[in-house]
Chains A and B, each alone.
Chain A
């Protein structure tokens, strides 16, 4: 089943409430995906050289040990703990940090990185997960969330969404793909790397691969309608905004509510019922096989 949600703020004055809005949306979708939950928050980054790294500490790996090792290796590093995740902020070369985390720190997994994205995901009921990360305290420009009912691969942190396979990119998925193994092999040949056996990660990799080939997000998702076989409603995020697409059979639900202040997307309306002004919003279902995007 799975629940997906997204909110993009047109009115920047609301940015401090972004986490609060997403909290209600994820709570509303908890019944669609009780196995694990995750979310990506985008916020403006005024320091152009700084990158943020979202790191998950596996198997109760000690925050203090992690901090000791990473701060010894990299100077001028800001480090903040959120439950079993850590956000590192640094203006060092991202290649060095990414490579250090993936090769030297076996008990830490890089969930995603970029100039504005922060990603958090955890196994457990979404109600608990968002509490653990104190999602309601976050501010930002746009956000995407997912509640998972596992069907296709195991209930683990790296089987949870959102998937980030490129800088400041992420993707959440309701559905299942049927040609992901073949597509994964093709993408691996083109230099894309994968951390899991999950079908959704292949879709995220497909989007990253296409964006790195200078295709626009809209063009990428239009091409995806031909290349990705299966059932899906995807929400994909970039630094600038997000987009939604449903497969042409449209088995998986989605509803969009748009006001002058925001665009909200959810699997079901009940996830948006708490949003201000939603009762007078323009509410519609995205049509099958049509890409809708905001901010891109």
Chain B
């Protein structure tokens, strides 16, 4: 990973820091960065597209790590609206709480939130794995199309409303299920997915057997069983 390069947002502009991280020389082995003093700025580490490790120390604003590809971004603090929105691959790890719409529309990668996530977590997710160690707010996984969401705490109102083929695992209580979302039997394959996600997030204190799974009742959209492999 090479030496650790420090980027202080008190000394450099956000645009300079993002520009540097977005355009790493493919031949360079400098892949280890520390970003300090984010002071709630928006779009910190948005649009990274290469393998690298970035540690952000402090609280950030909206759309942090948005559109991420390949990078491992860790935020030692809270994040605002839309962390890792539209992520394609890589990992985003939030050590604090996340505001609304965490992981919105994301196609891939892994989002780990150590604290709680607010409303609309995983809204319209399209393949991302989201693991929340705390609870999520209302309308989470709204119109979620593909991917997995693991909630170690509780889920707010209308979980999985208008759900497509994403899988939702909840350990705590669900305040209410949204339209067309229902509890499903956990198959062996689902259990493997859940266990691998718990492992990925380094969660050892919760037993996979304590989770319930929710999925789509498939009445709201025209589901064709012949296309199941596409989801």
Residues of B within 8 A of A274 (CB): 39
Within 8 A of A (CB), among B29-87: 39-42, 58-62, 77-78, 80-81
- Decide if A279 touches B58 in the complex (CB within 8 Å): yes
| Given A268-B40, A269-B40, A287:B137 Cβ within 8 A | yes
| B119 in contact (CB, < 8 A) | yes
Within 8 A of B (CB), among A282-296: 283-285, 287-288
| A270 in contact (CB, < 8 A) | yes
| Given A279-B58, A288-B119, A269:B100 Cβ within 8 A | no
- Decide if B96 touches A250 in the complex (CB within 8 Å): no
| B99 in contact (CB, < 8 A) | yes
Report the minimal beta-carbon distance from B189 to chain A, rounded to whole angstroms: 36
- Decide if A283 touches B96 in the complex (CB within 8 Å): yes
- Decide if A253 touches B40 in the complex (CB within 8 Å): no
With an 8 Å Cβ cutoff, the count of chain B residues facing the other chain is 21
Report the minimal beta-carbon distance from B188 to chain A, rounded to whole angstroms: 37
- Decide if B99 touches A285 in the complex (CB within 8 Å): yes
Cα distance, A279 to B97, chains bound together (Å): 13
| B138 in contact (CB, < 8 A) | yes
- B40, B80, B137, B138, most chain A CB atoms within 10 A: B40
Cα distance, A288 to B119, chains bound together (Å): 9
Residues of A within 8 A of B59 (CB): 269, 273, 279, 283
Cα distance, A250 to B41, chains bound together (Å): 22
Q: List 16 A-B contacts (CB under 8 A).
A: A250-B100, A268-B62, A269-B60, A270-B41, A270-B42, A270-B61, A271-B40, A272-B40, A273-B40, A274-B39, A283-B59, A283-B96, A285-B97, A285-B99, A285-B118, A288-B138
A residues sitting closer than 8 Å to B (CB atoms) are 28, 250, 253, 255, 268-274, 279, 283-285, 287-288
B residues sitting closer than 8 Å to A (CB atoms) are 39-42, 58-62, 77-78, 80-81, 96-97, 99-100, 118-119, 137-138
